[in-house]
Amino acid sequence: MPDTRIIDAKVIVTSPGRNFVTLKITTADGLYGIGDATLNGRELSVASYLQDHVFPCLIGRDADRIEDTWQYFYRGAYWRRGPVTMSAIAAVDVALWDIKAKRAQMPLYQLLGGRCREGVTVYAHANGHSIDDVLDSVAKHRELGYKAIRVQAAVPGVRDAYGVPHGDKPYEPADGTLPREEAWNTPKYLRFMPKLMDAVRTKFGFDLSILHDGHHRLTPIEAASLGKSLEEFQPFWLEDLTPAENQESFRLIRQHTTVPLAVGEVFNSIFDCQRLISEQLIDYIRATIVHAGGITHMRRIASFADLYNVKTGSHGATDLSPICMGAALHFDLSIPNFGIQEHMPHTALTDEVFPHAYTFTNGLMHPGEAPGHGVDIDETLAAKFPYKRAYLPVCRLEDGTLHNW
């Protein structure tokens, strides 16, 4: 019998262009597994939660008991849920699944029940300072093979639209040593969006899946109005139109539009989407492995969603490390109600720090056949890039009122 006791756990914080927090767990029989613990803009809280509060209870536990360990850290904390706690639990969970699959000498998706599809359909980002820029970016992504593309453009007369890069740098929202202040105007955005969608459909037709992220900036009635105005362009989904703390607000949007709705990148628990799912107020749940309790909890969310015809559409921005991406691809491949997966490629340097088995071909990603989740960390290289404080921006209306972002 292998000795599956956990004998070591450590947190690795590295910043190869942006911050990532990684948990590494080692067992007595010499296996190790890694999990992503990155919480954009609040990275060190999760690092401390793991080191100060999880590690003392983790050492000596049986790495094979994944569900029991999940329950232990969820119930045992007394203070349930929340992004910091759930990211820490996710990191432990993913590291343990990695170890179990390595011990079984199987790619993780095989342990999760095997594949339900040939590959994972992913969507790319086309961002631009103008409609023409966006059209160029859509064309480039189509050439790369993407079948689904999210479009975000600067809104004329609005200083900061969501998802648009500043200057020539690749889009990276956490870009300030203090939070940058953005200025926003909803009526201008609502008037502009049909023009953007129309231009994309006119140039590329209707075979391409087009997505858009509203990034929580609308009220429910504004969201309903946007949905109505974009229906004729048949978007694949409209994401995060309104904040979802109040799950009932989606009922109002639903009464007015048949546009598919996606929400949940900031969710960390099944209870954040219980009503959204059971009342079929959304079509895609965007919760993700690293922020919603790992593979164990995401499987629970997906199974619940499956009962109500809600599909998954996990968050996959660059602040989720390649470890999260690898784990997500195994999960996506193995569940029946997968919808789509976001793919925002990491920089070459990040890919060097996190060597991985996953691949992209012709619009589909595949997690690869390496035992475990197939992502590793080069600790020597990681040590060369120390943590750099970086905040997400805050958003204000033009009169200075603090708004949603």
Could you give the string, one character per residue 118-157, with x where binding to ligand KDG holds by CB under 6 A and - elsewhere? Answer: ----------------------------------------
Least Å from the CB of residue 276 to ligand KDG: 17
Q: Where are the beta strands (DSSP E) in 110-214?
A: 120-128, 148-153, 181-184, 209-213
**Restricting to residues 61-80, which ones interact with ligand KDG according to CB under 6 A?**
none
Which one, 290 or 377, has the nearer CB to ligand KDG?
290
Q: Does 40 bind ligand KDG (CB under 6 A)?
A: yes
Q: Vertex 333, ends 332 and 336: CA angle to 5°? A: 80
Angle at 306 between CA 304 and CA 312, to 5 degrees: 95
**Residue 265 is a binding residue for ligand KDG (CB under 6 A):** yes
Give the phi and the psi of residue 233 in degrees, each rounded to 5: -90, 0
Q: Which two tokens stand for residue 261?
A: 């709705």
Residue 140, both tokens:
């480039």
9 sits in which H/E element: strand 6-14
Q: Which of 249, 235, 313, 243 is nearest to 279 (CA)?
A: 249
Query: Nearest to residue 49, comparing CAs of 75, 24, 83?
Result: 83
C-alpha triplet 317, 321, 325: angle, nearest 5°: 75
Stretch that binds ligand KDG, among 24-32, 49-57, 68-76, 315-323 (CB under 6 A): 315-323
Alpha carbon separation from 152 to 125, 163, 293, 355 (Å, rounded): 8, 6, 29, 30
> Which among 87-95, 205-213, 254-262, 377-385 is the span making contact with Mg ion, rule CB under 5 A?
205-213
Q: How far is the CB of 344 from ligand KDG (least distance, A)?
A: 6
Q: Which of 49, 74, 123, 162 is catalytic?
A: 162
Binding residue (CB under 6 A) for ligand KDG from 342, 346, 354, 358: 342
Stretch that binds ligand KDG, among 84-92, 249-257, 313-321, 348-356 (CB under 6 A): 313-321
Please report, in angstroms and rounded to a whole number, the separation of the first and last CA atoms in the chain.
Answer: 51
Q: In whole angstroms, what is the distance from residue 254 CA to residue 55 CA?
A: 45
Closest separation in Å from C-beta 55 to ligand KDG:
26
**Do the Cβ atoms of 109 and 367 come closer than 8 Å?**
yes
Window contacting ligand KDG (CB under 6 A); options: 189-197, 203-211, 252-260, 314-322:
314-322
Of 291 and 373, the one with the shorter C-beta distance to Mg ion is 291
Tell me the per-residue interface mask from 256 to 295 with Mg ion, x by CB under 5 A, - otherwise: ---------x------------------------------
Residue 372 CB-half CA count within 13 A: 20
Given 3-state DSSP classes, what are the helix, strand and coil percentages for the chain, each rounded to the nearest 5? Answer: 35, 20, 45
Residue 317 CB, shortest distance to Mg ion, in Å, is 7
Q: How far is the CB of 326 from ligand KDG (least distance, A)?
A: 17
Examine residue 319 and tell whether it contacts ligand KDG (CB under 6 A).
Answer: yes
Element containing residue 364 per DSSP (H, E): strand 364-366
Q: Report if residue 260 touches ligand KDG, rule: CB under 6 A.
A: no
Cβ–Cβ under 8 Å, residues 137 and 128? yes
Are residues 337 and 312 in contact, defined by beta-carbon separation less than 8 angstroms?
A: yes
CB of 207 to ligand KDG, least distance (A): 23
Write the interaction track for ligand KDG spanning residues 349-378; mark x where CB under 6 A is met and - where it is not. ------------------------------
Choice between 39 and 224, CB closer to ligand KDG: 39
Whole-number minimum distance, CB 262 to Mg ion, in Å? 9
Per the CB < 8 A criterion, the answer to whether 324 and 318 are in contact is no
Q: Is 162 an annotated catalytic residue?
A: yes
Phi, psi of 302 (to 5 degrees): -65, -40
213 binds ligand KDG per the rule CB under 6 A: yes
Question: Catalytic site residue 72?
Answer: no
Q: How many residues at the interface with Mg ion, by CB under 5 A? A: 2
Does position 376 bind Mg ion by CB under 5 A?
no
Residue 213 makes contact with Mg ion by CB under 5 A: yes
The smaller minimum CB distance to ligand KDG, of residues 27 and 312, is found at 312
Residues in contact with Mg ion by the rule CB under 5 A: 213, 265
Residues in contact with ligand KDG by the rule CB under 6 A: 40, 173, 213, 215, 265, 315, 317, 319, 342, 392
Question: Which residues are identified as catalytic?
Answer: 162, 215
